[in-house]
Amino acid sequence: MYLDRTKHEEVIMTVERSILLIVGVIVLGSALLAALHSPNWLWLTGIMGAHLIQASFTGICPVVMTLKKLGLPTKAGFA
């Protein structure tokens, strides 16, 4: 949890915010590894992109299911 300074209210980490954070870290990490180590790391970036497309159509995402089981609340991601 952190304080949103513009609204002066507490903002709770939700499933939607968490999934954006997790995917962003994986994509940036794999791009960095591709630049510094091996271009084969770009496969991970492509797989994450394909998974995001698949999840948008089916609504199935193992990470989201896990975060919900851990008790993170859900809320519209950009509300």
At 58 the pLDDT is 94
pLDDT in tens, 44-77: 999 999 999 999 999 899 999 999 999 999 887 5
b or e along 42-73 (b: 16 or more beta carbons within 10 Å of the residue's beta carbon)?
eebbeebeebeeebeeeeebeebeebeeeebe
7-44: per-residue pLDDT in tens? 656 667 889 889 989 999 999 999 999 999 999 999 99
Q: What is the pLDDT at residue 52?
A: 92
pTM of the model: 0.76
